[in-house]
Amino acid sequence: GLSSARAAEILARDGPNALTPPKATPEIVKFLRQMIGGFSILLWIGAGFSWISFGIQLAQGTDSAFDNLYLGVVLALVVILTGIFAYYQEAKSTNIMASFSKMIPQQALVLRDAEKKELPADQLVVGDIVEIKGGDRIPADIRLIFTQGCKVDNSSLTGESEPQSRSCDFTHENPLETRNIAFYSTTCVEGTATGIVINTGDRTIIGRIASLASGVGNEKTPIAIEIEHFVWLVAGVAVSIGVLFFIISVSMRYRILDSIIFLIGIIVANVPEGLLATVTVSLSLTAKRMAKKNCLVKNLEAVETLGSTSIICSDKTGTLTQNRMTVAHLWFDNQIYSADTSEDQTTQPFDQSSPSWTALSKIVTLCNRAEFRPGQENLPIMKRVVVGDASETALLKFSEVILGDVMSIRAQNKKVAEIPFNSTNKFQLSIHETADPHDKRFLLVMKGAPERILERCSTIMINGKEEPLDSEKAEAFQTAYMELGGMGERVLGFCHLYLPENEFPETFQFDTDSMNFPTSNLCFVGLLSMIDPPRSTVPDAVSKCRSAGIKVIMVTGDHPITAKAIAKSVGIISATSETVEDIAKRLNIPVEQVNRREATAAVVNGMELKDMSSEQLDSILREHAEIVFARTSPQQKLIIVEGCQRQGAVVAVTGDGVNDSPALKKADIGIAMGIAGSDAAKNAADMVLLDDNFASIVTGVEEGRLIFDNLKKTIAYTLTKNIAELCPFLIYIIASIPMPIGTITILFIDLGTDIIPSVALAYEKAESDIMNRRPRNKRKDRLVNHQLAVYSYLQIGIMQSVGAFVTYFTVYAEQGFLPSTLLGVRVHWESAASNDFEDSYGQQWTYYQRMYLQWTGYTAFFVSITIQQVADLIIRKTRRNSIFQQGLFRNKVIWVGIFSQIGIAAILTYGLGHVTALNFTPLRFQYWFVAVPFAILIWVYDEIRKLLIRRYPGSWWDKNMYY
């Protein structure tokens, strides 16, 4: 091997043997983005204006100049704090992922300084000699110099699911094809090998693909687009109302400075300061919930993307299936039996009384080289780790389930000779002593490709008796073989022969090279067929997708027949639908004559796909509801994803291999497998499926749809009170009444009382089965549609304003200022020099006495908005159903929200009521109830709205009032 010194030199030259992680955005850029994104820019403008007016007023020597300085500082603080919060949330979800990928540091066995050493794999350099054994991950691209039964799983690289044998022979010009190279990040399935490192890090084949993948740009997530749309909408309203009233106030001969202060108020009232933070919290709550259900979301926004998914391109192996071969069918005594293929089988229900089964089970048990790894006796059989290839593993587990301790059976039937499976023979043979001490015969057992096995048989066992294999029985065999093969299953034939005692005495020396024993005229016993069976939860999940309007497309590297069989068994191709080929077969006409439109299903071969133009692919995707892509390479996955996106679909793609990463990136939501997935795939994906189970995606979809609905509710809730905050300013400007609510007070609503309730809406349960409606159309079904804005702004918002104004006028009237006295008093009211301001009863007020009353007005207005927001919160629980259908108490968090809201309001009013700067005053108790009738009205009105929507679907009311 290399000397440590030389290795260090090369390491210094080439760098560590690790993939360069995708270029991360610098933290400071991320942070700054949070600081100026969304509404922040508006608030910065507000803060800037505040400071400008502070400067001007200070120069003029106005007493209240510092109010504006504080307001500016508060606004800036709001922006910075919400920015820090959003940044922290984002960083938190990124960290989950970072810790995830660092879980297992890889080790490699290297020859250095003529000594074998365990080194971290990233220390490897070109020229190192490494040893690998079954189960290891290949630590770099290596050229093999010694192999022993070495097989590698290249599926993450090439998509081929079959393990490939590796040898020292150079067999092909193409490095991907030749047998003497093993690739970085693939796994060695069995055997051992020694090799020389030829490429490390980014220069490995995988590294090159990974760097290609990072070239595929990240698209904006649908929810990001929705939020942007919403921010624009609200900012547009804020700016246009602000500018409009700026012009109005200037033309009403207000001073420019006053007009600017009004503008700040209008902006602050219009911008839902807490909303983006609330949205982030809601998304991360859902992300947590999804993580519990095995969907780990890397990017918070992907939570919702999953909900708007309209096409899922799913892998077959491991995602739809259990990723292990399992015995599915048996054929003996001229009859096909089905075996249990579920994940946790403990018994097999088929009829085991026939003596043929006894014989067959013996062959299955004995003619098998697979073994359980020791020390797993306490694990369920299905979970135990087996050394051996997939079919032998299946057979071993199958017989262990039925017969019990296979290893002791094998010990009792001692193996005396063996010919392992090879591709020329296509059979496996072994010779055993029998368990019966009185029976001195040897038993020869053989399994292999059914047609090859049958060739070697002259008899067949029926009900335990050997019968001659005539053409009728051979015909029956053929039918069974075809039927099992047609189900996409891998079929094996089994036969045996008891060697006559006289020819093969106990001492007989079997020689497997010269084959000094019979290998023909055997007795055929039966067939076993195996398949990688679907996960038991998948058919249900697929049918859920179907009712949810999500198209599930299977993309697999497997054979079309197997792919189709699995697609049928999980419901991706439904029982009644036919492919073009099926129709051709049924009608007995050539494929070309079939009307393609009649075929709802399609199985597309990767070879066909290669020659297809994108128009042809589009038409396939459009015309067929049920599609399976078989024999596809991971590269073709990208083409399929792009095709789906051209249809306007939101595409989710699952993948595990490195080659999947471009498709994962390209997809609207890339889903990597947590168990089988490569790091590259996990890096490229937006979400990691911890249990590799398709059904978890569907749960994720459900959560994603729910959060979309609930975000609508949160936003509707939050926007409503903006009008109640805005109206005071507008009426103040137009009617020149004393200011009904202060800018700081507004911030206390937006960032105080309203925060917990709006997060509480994220816990709301779905109103109806959200999995029974079509995925949202990303062009039409907006998060904030105009119905939502209009209903919140122009209906509930106005009602709230009316309620709050009634409280405001009540407070003033009961202190001596009747509403008529208040109109047009602004200038005089706000003049600090005016200290004998007369009320409706002839009393005179000093400036401070008036200001204190004004703050009482702020507090009353604030309390009224809070009280009416309770009603708003309750009505937002549902959009269509009655609250009583939804249940008032099912979502306990809503009540936490309501109590927090009232609690915070009470603390502000009574606890902080003496802090002048906050402009709260202890409020008379009865003023809390002035707005209650309006709160009730809001509730009743919304119930009527929902009732009419339910009663008259599609009506004018439904179209205008349902958001």
Partner 1 sequence: GLIFLFYLVFYGFLAALFTFTMWVMLQTLSNDVPKYRDRISSPGLMISPKPDTALEFYFNKSDSQSYSEYVTTLQNFLESYNDSKQLQNIDCARGKIFDQSDAAVKKACRFNINELGQCSGKEDKNFGYSKGAPCVLVKMNRVIGLKPEGEPHIECTAKEEGMVNINYFPSNGAMDLMYFPYYGKSLHAHYLQPLVAVQLAITPNGTKEEIAIECKILGSPNLKNQDDRDKFLGRIAFKVQMLE
Q: Kindly list the catalytic residues.
A: 315
* Least Cβ distance, residue 221 to partner 1 (angstroms): 34
Instruction: Tell me the β-bridge partners of 630.
Output: 605
Residue 264: CB partners within 8 Å, gap ≥ 6? 46, 49, 50, 53, 71, 743
* Least Cβ distance, residue 814 to partner 1 (angstroms): 4
Q: How far is CA 827 from CA 748, 830, 854, in A?
A: 27, 5, 14
Q: Of 383 and 924, which has the nearer Cβ to partner 1?
A: 924
Most distant CA atoms of the chain, gap in Å: 134
* Least Cβ distance, residue 558 to partner 1 (angstroms): 57
* Least Cβ distance, residue 839 to partner 1 (angstroms): 7
* Least Cβ distance, residue 677 to partner 1 (angstroms): 52
For residues 834 and 637, what is the distance between their CA atoms, to the nearest angstrom? 78
Q: How far is CA 851 from the centre of its chain?
A: 55
For residues 16 and 18, what is the distance between their CA atoms, to the nearest angstrom? 6
Q: Of 318 and 913, which has the nearer Cβ to partner 1?
A: 913
Q: How far is CA 11 from CA 8, 14, 116, 185, 304, in A?
A: 5, 5, 18, 19, 44
* Residues 584, 590 contacting (CB under 8 angstroms): yes
* Least Cβ distance, residue 812 to partner 1 (angstroms): 10
Pair of tokens at residue 63: 């007493």
By CB under 8 A, name the binding residues for partner 1.
794-795, 798-799, 802, 805-806, 809-810, 813-816, 818-819, 832-833, 835-836, 838-849, 852-853, 856, 916, 924, 933, 937, 956, 960
H-helix segments, 342-449: 355-366, 390-403, 406-412
* Residues 747, 273 contacting (CB under 8 angstroms): yes
* Least Cβ distance, residue 947 to partner 1 (angstroms): 16
Pair of tokens at residue 568: 């049928």
Q: How far is CA 223 from the centre of its chain?
A: 14
Of 959, 623, 650, 645, whose CA–CA distance to 777 is shortest? 650
* Residues 126, 198 contacting (CB under 8 angstroms): yes
* Residues 512, 419 contacting (CB under 8 angstroms): yes
Pairing of strands 522-531, 490-499: antiparallel
Burial group, residue 914, by CB count within 10 angstroms (0-12, 13-18, 19+):
exposed
Q: Of 408 and 955, which has the nearer Cβ to partner 1?
A: 955
* Least Cβ distance, residue 806 to partner 1 (angstroms): 5
Which regions of 121-186 does DSSP assign to beta strands (E)? 129-133, 141-153, 164-165, 181-182
Q: What is the 3-state secondary structure (H, E, C) of 47-113?
A: HHHHHHHHHHHHHHCCCCHHHHHHHHHHHHHHHHHHHHHHHHHHHHHHHHHHHHHCCCCCEEEEEEC
Of 101, 132, 104, whose CA–CA distance to 195 is shortest? 132
Q: Of 498 and 848, which has the nearer Cβ to partner 1?
A: 848
* Least Cβ distance, residue 66 to partner 1 (angstroms): 14
Q: Look at residue 652 and give its three-state secondary structure.
A: strand
* Least Cβ distance, residue 272 to partner 1 (angstroms): 23
- What Rg, from alpha-carbon coordinates, does the chain have? 37
* Least Cβ distance, residue 843 to partner 1 (angstroms): 5
Q: Of 587 and 944, which has the nearer Cβ to partner 1?
A: 944
H-helix segments, 761-796: 786-790
Residue 442: CB partners within 8 Å, gap ≥ 6? 416, 431, 432, 433, 434, 498, 499, 504, 508
Q: Of 647 and 916, which has the nearer Cβ to partner 1?
A: 916
Q: Of 178 and 849, which has the nearer Cβ to partner 1?
A: 849
* Residues 313, 668 contacting (CB under 8 angstroms): no
Of 372, 391, 355, whose CA–CA distance to 528 is shortest? 391
* Least Cβ distance, residue 809 to partner 1 (angstroms): 6
Pair of tokens at residue 190: 């069995």
Q: What is the DSSP-derived secondary structure letter of residue 913?
A: T
